[in-house]
């Protein structure tokens, strides 16, 4: 099969979250399974100056944007260690900026226009290059117009009618809503601006557009696929998702173990695997404590958290527990993240006042993220909602036992420690249901008590490290989904011909 992935982020070119990891790893895994994949990304400044070799193409693309025509070009690169071509849609006025979506907490005011252009440019590129495409796989609201253009503007054009579309929701909380006049930018007829299709409470909604027009929809875990069919996690789109539930499914993201494996990780002071985990983690913990200025304390549980410091991630719960425990409990806390100013301030203050207990790095640092996974005994992820979550999967591999709130992908990937799950060897972490400080505190206490029982702890660590959340597994599920979607889309076409 020939798969075209269109997205607004992919490692190593552009990243703000887990989406970038998925869009980089899935095509490589598809290639390994014998399929052909290409990736389309906007030509951001960072992506073009990112150090990967770039090639000019001769392709010039003209896209109608409202009443004007905007020109762009295509640049070509490769995903590292693969044959997967990456095409950058180059349009400097739209993409040659310092950030992907906005600065200083405000979105760029022309985001709708930027992604209208991107979506049409991708479909134009298909005929101009030309590319053979069986499935277009679009990701999140930035590419939500692609399924719509395929169904409406490109219907009947030679080469396009055989293309099926899959739309993946990575996070339903970000929907790409714009004022209604931006409908004019899309070039689509106003008749589609209705509450069954592109309109959402008077606004243009690009996530909804993708959900309505795609041939199939999936999200990044089976549990999140269920949860979003109801309020509150449906974020207002639960009705649309219920209507489309026949074509809605969930596939847990994979981990790129070429990057996230403590046995080979170049960022760690000492590499380790399941057999050498006790010594390996002890060395990494000592080095992490030294790096962050925490006292060297091999027996004090070290709790790590990496991620966006926003409400979604339950950071307020963490902040309360840290504040509550910092004087009385012998626990070390390591926080790595960026996000809302109030959390920056809070953790910076805690780290300043309690340097023996709290280390906060309010920055984005991939190397430090690796060292935290290796040095931490416990990894915290008390998310309010979590479409899939990657950090808990890294934690499993690095022997940092996850403490999670049971939501979305965290339910599908972490098994709570109980006498039963210990007995059958499935226990991999600790989880709780209520979004309450008390529930988190109690679960953390449970984890720390278990940490004190070295044999049991070692067993939980081993259970986690043995799990396989590789992309090979997820990619196989995507192949099945592409195939079933393609069969469904092409069946009527074949019937017509007979």
Give the residue with the Cβ less far from ligand ADP, 338 or 483.
338
For position 132 contacting ligand ADP by CB under 6 A, the verdict is: no
For position 390 contacting ligand ADP by CB under 6 A, the verdict is: yes
Give the residue with the Cβ less far from ligand ADP, 301 or 307.
307
Give the residue with the Cβ less far from ligand ADP, 21 or 316.
21
Give the residue with the Cβ less far from ligand ADP, 306 or 481.
306
Question: Minimum distance between the CB of residue 345 and ligand ADP, rounded to whole angstroms?
Answer: 16
Among 12, 17, 46, 187, binds ligand ADP (CB under 6 A): 17
> What DSSP line would sit under 66-132, residue for residue?
TTEEEEEEEEEEE-TTS--EEEEEE-HHHH-SSSSSEETTEE-TTHHHHHHHHHHHHHHHHHHTT--
For position 308 contacting ligand ADP by CB under 6 A, the verdict is: yes
Question: Minimum distance between the CB of residue 139 and ligand ADP, rounded to whole angstroms?
Answer: 12
For position 336 contacting ligand ADP by CB under 6 A, the verdict is: yes
Say how far apart CA 416 and CA 426 lie, in whole Å.
Answer: 8
Q: Among all chains, which residue has been given the structure tokens 């409470």? A: 201
For position 325 contacting ligand ADP by CB under 6 A, the verdict is: no
For position 364 contacting ligand ADP by CB under 6 A, the verdict is: yes
Question: Minimum distance between the CB of residue 337 and ligand ADP, rounded to whole angstroms?
Answer: 5
Binding mask 99-118 for ligand ADP (x = CB under 6 A): --------------------
For position 408 contacting ligand ADP by CB under 6 A, the verdict is: no
Three-class DSSP category at 294: coil
Say how far apart CA 339 and CA 313 lie, in whole Å.
Answer: 10
Pairing of strands 203-205, 177-178: antiparallel
79, 36 contact by CB (below 8 A): no
- Give the dihedral sign, CA 216/220/222/225: negative
Contacts for 130 with CB less than 8 Å, ≥ 6 apart: 159
* Torsions phi, psi for 219 (to 5 deg): -130, 180
Candidates 57-65, 89-97, 240-248, 306-314: pick the segment binding ligand ADP (CB under 6 A): 306-314
Helices and strands in the chain: count of H runs, count of E runs: 19, 20
Give the residue with the Cβ less far from ligand ADP, 113 or 140.
140
Question: Minimum distance between the CB of residue 490 and ligand ADP, rounded to whole angstroms?
Answer: 33
For position 376 contacting ligand ADP by CB under 6 A, the verdict is: no
Give the residue with the Cβ less far from ligand ADP, 369 or 411.
369
Integer angstrom CA distances of residue 250 from 18, 72, 217, 409: 16, 35, 9, 9
For position 402 contacting ligand ADP by CB under 6 A, the verdict is: no
Candidates 241-249, 363-371, 395-403, 479-487: pick the segment binding ligand ADP (CB under 6 A): 363-371
* Binding-site size, ligand ADP (CB under 6 A): 17
Candidates 16-24, 34-42, 414-422, 458-466: pick the segment binding ligand ADP (CB under 6 A): 16-24
Question: Minimum distance between the CB of residue 63 and ligand ADP, rounded to whole angstroms?
Answer: 29
7, 139 contact by CB (below 8 A): yes
Say how far apart CA 63 and CA 294 lie, in whole Å.
Answer: 55
Among 337, 399, 402, 429, binds ligand ADP (CB under 6 A): 337
For position 74 contacting ligand ADP by CB under 6 A, the verdict is: no
Question: Minimum distance between the CB of residue 338 and ligand ADP, rounded to whole angstroms?
Answer: 5
Characterize 140-157 residue by residue with b for buried, 16 or more Cβ atoms within 10 angstroms of its Cβ, and e for exposed.
Answer: bbbbbbbbbbbbbbbeee
For position 307 contacting ligand ADP by CB under 6 A, the verdict is: yes
5, 26 contact by CB (below 8 A): yes
Degrees, nearest 5: CA angle 411-256-147: 75
Rounded to 10 degrees, the C-alpha dihedral 445/448/453/458 comes to: 130
Which residue has the closest beta carbon to ligand ADP?
Answer: 18
Q: Among all chains, which residue has been given the structure tokens 């400044």? A: 45
Candidates 158-166, 292-300, 387-395, 468-476: pick the segment binding ligand ADP (CB under 6 A): 387-395
Candidates 17-25, 78-86, 223-231, 418-426: pick the segment binding ligand ADP (CB under 6 A): 17-25
For position 338 contacting ligand ADP by CB under 6 A, the verdict is: yes
* Torsions phi, psi for 59 (to 5 deg): -75, 125
Give the residue with the Cβ less far from ligand ADP, 52 or 338.
338
Question: Minimum distance between the CB of residue 218 and ligand ADP, rounded to whole angstroms?
Answer: 16
Other beta carbons less than 10 A from residue 487's beta carbon: 11
Give the residue with the Cβ less far from ligand ADP, 85 or 140.
140
- How deeply is 211 buried, as exposed, middle or buried, from its count of CB atoms within 10 A (0-12, 13-18, 19+)? buried
* Chain contacts with ligand ADP (rule: CB under 6 A): 17-18, 21, 306-308, 336-338, 364-366, 369, 388-391
């Amino acid at each position: 099969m020939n798969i075209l992935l269109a997205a607004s982020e992919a490692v190593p070119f552009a990243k703000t979250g887990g989406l970038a990891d998925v869009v980089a790893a899935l095509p490589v895994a598809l290639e390994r399974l014998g399929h052909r994949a290409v990736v389309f990304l906007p030509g951001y400044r960072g992506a073009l100056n990112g150090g990967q070799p770039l090639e000019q193409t001769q392709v010039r693309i003209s896209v109608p944007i409202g009443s004007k025509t905007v020109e762009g070009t295509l640049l070509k690169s490769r995903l590292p260690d693969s044959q997967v071509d990456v095409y950058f849609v180059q349009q400097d006025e739209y993409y040659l900026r310092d950030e992907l979506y906005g600065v200083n907490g405000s979105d760029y005011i022309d985001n709708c226009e930027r992604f209208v252009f991107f979506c049409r440019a991708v479909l134009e590129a298909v005929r101009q290059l030309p590319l053979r495409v069986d499935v277009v796989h679009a990701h999140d609201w930035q590419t939500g117009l692609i399924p719509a253009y395929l169904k409406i503007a490109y219907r009947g054009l030679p080469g396009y009618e055989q293309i099926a579309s899959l739309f993946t929701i990575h996070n339903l909380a970000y929907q790409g809503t714009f004022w209604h006049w931006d409908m004019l930018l899309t070039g689509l007829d106003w008749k589609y601006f209705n509450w069954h299709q592109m309109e959402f409470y008077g606004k243009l909604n690009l996530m909804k557009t993708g959900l309505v027009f795609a041939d199939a929809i999936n999200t990044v875990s089976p549990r999140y696929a269920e949860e979003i069919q109801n309020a509150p996690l449906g974020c207002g789109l639960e009705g649309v998702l219920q209507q489309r539930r026949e074509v809605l499914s969930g596939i847990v993201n994979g981990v790129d173990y070429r990057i996230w494996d403590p046995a080979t990780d170049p960022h760690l002071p000492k590499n380790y695997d399941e057999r050498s985990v006790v010594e390996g983690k002890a060395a990494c913990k000592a080095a992490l404590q030294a790096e962050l200025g925490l006292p060297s304390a091999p027996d004090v549980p070290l709790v790590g958290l990496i991620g966006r410091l926003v409400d979604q991630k339950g950071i307020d719960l963490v902040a309360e527990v840290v504040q509550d425990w910092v004087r009385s409990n012998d626990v070390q806390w390591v926080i790595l993240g960026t996000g809302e100013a109030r959390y920056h301030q809070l953790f910076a203050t805690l780290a300043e006042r309690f340097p023996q207990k709290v280390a906060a790095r309010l920055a984005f640092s991939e190397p430090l993220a690796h060292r935290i996974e290796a040095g931490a005994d416990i990894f915290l992820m008390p998310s309010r909602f979590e479409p899939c979550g990657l950090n808990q999967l890294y934690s499993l591999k690095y022997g940092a036992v996850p403490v999670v709130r049971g939501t979305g992908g965290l339910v599908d990937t972490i098994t709570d420690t109980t006498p039963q799950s210990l007995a059958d060897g499935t226990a991999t972490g600790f989880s709780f249901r209520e979004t309450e400080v008390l529930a988190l505190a109690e679960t953390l206490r449970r984890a720390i008590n278990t940490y004190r029982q070295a044999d049991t702890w070692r067993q939980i660590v081993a259970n986690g490290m043995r799990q396989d959340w590789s992309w090979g597994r997820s990619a196989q599920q995507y192949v099945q989904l592409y195939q079933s979607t393609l069969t469904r889309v092409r069946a009527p076409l074949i019937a017509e011909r007979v």
